[in-house]
Amino acid sequence: MFEKVLIANRGEIAVRAIRACRELGIKTVAIYSEADRDSMHVKLADESVCIGPAEPSKSYLDIPSIMSAAEISMVDAIYPGYGFLAENPKFAEISQKSGIKFVGPSADTLELIGNKLKAKEVARKVGLPLVPGSEGAVDLSDAIEVAREIGYPVVLKAASGGGGRGIRIVMNEKELLEKLPVAMHEAELSFGDDRIYVEKFIIRPKHVEFQILADGKGKVVSLGERECSIQRRHQKLIEESPCVAVNEDKRREIEQRVIRFCEEIGYEGAGTVEFLMDEGGEFYFMEMNGRIQVEHPVSEMITGTDIVKWQFKVAAGEELEISDVERRGYAIEFRINAEDPDTFAPSPGLIEELFLPGGMGVRVDTHIYQGYAVPPNYDSLLAKVIVWGKDREEAISRGLRALEEVRISGRGLKVNTEFHKRVLLSREFREGNHHIGFVEEMLI
């Protein structure tokens, strides 16, 4: 096992990783920006290094600064978490060339799955169902031809996009003529790659993803699926497991194909294979994320598997000891964000009152504390409230109770707990009829 790990992230995922390391007997080094000097992950780590100012480009995205921190701290591994550099092939490659283990997939694997077109080629090879669309990148004439063939509406996607970015919905040919050049320009600015591909836009789909663990030695295990349909502007807000709309036969069918996909690319570590599911229950491959997900705790709650610990174990060369994973009950995660519950506008500020829920079947992952000043420079996530119940009905009831107990307030600070309660009380959510456009519909 590793002796010392650098946590190349911030916030709750950094705290989560430090806790896993402590249980494994690994010493930790936190990196932090000047804005995060008083953050909890800095207080909990064995050592800490300031890597730059608040701007992410000059701190958490600055590879030379992070590698310098790793070298002066003499770590033998780097844990990237999610966001920032977690899926950056260059970061993984530099880490490996420096003799420091990157806790995650190889640079080559990250390169492959980060290219949506290449990932779709592998998905096609192993029999994963694909959304009808172009087989590769398109120019304007190709896009017009494909759209006419599959029918409108269609969606334009950046070949190197991710995190819900680089997506544009097109309702007709006039919009296609207008939006494709803009989408290509934005893709070039955001990802350094202006390639765009076209897919059929599926009406009212659910977003379903399968959590996997792989040891890089040929063993891949599925921890089941999560539904992440409650989202706004492609950013997830509520996640649950299992998906109420997936039957056992379909679950096993997709799981086997997901496992074959991961075997084909020689995957190592934790990751998710993501799908859209239409109203008829058919699945369509979207992408693979080569990192831990914000919503991983719901899979941990129903399987009893510590996914983050296994990331470290696998990276250290251990073989997966998991085979048949028993799934029990139902879990839901709520992202508690520093934002207005009605407008979703960011709302950073000083936390003057803090009370977080507890009790049977409730877990909270967070990096905040009373007196903590929420900085405006980063993602608005403050905490994740995760609840477990013997079935979905109990999980929803427990979720409502836990949300009622959340007290986070202070100067200039608002949180989105009221939004979550509105979702849980809605008929569509309770009946499992929600979809990825539900939040926008609810707000109209």
| Catalytic center residues | 291
Looking at residue 107, its amino acid is A
Which burial class, exposed, middle or buried, applies to 437 when counting CB atoms under 10 A from its CB (0-12, 13-18, 19+)?
Answer: middle
Which burial class, exposed, middle or buried, applies to 221 when counting CB atoms under 10 A from its CB (0-12, 13-18, 19+)?
Answer: buried
Residues 6+ apart with CB under 8 A from 223: 211, 212, 213, 299, 303, 305, 307, 325, 327
Residues 6+ apart with CB under 8 A from 148: 173
Phi first, then psi, for residue 286 (nearest 5°) are -105, -60
Q: Which pair of tokens denotes residue 144?
A: 């017009």
* CA distance linking residue 124 with residue 122, whole number of Å: 5
Contact 323, 293 (CB under 8 A): no
Strand-strand pairing, 27-33 and 47-52: parallel
- DSSP string covering 325-349: PP--SEEEEEEEESB-TTT--B---
Residues 6+ apart with CB under 8 A from 418: 341
* CA distance linking residue 120 with residue 131, whole number of Å: 10
Residues 6+ apart with CB under 8 A from 63: 85, 88, 90, 91, 94
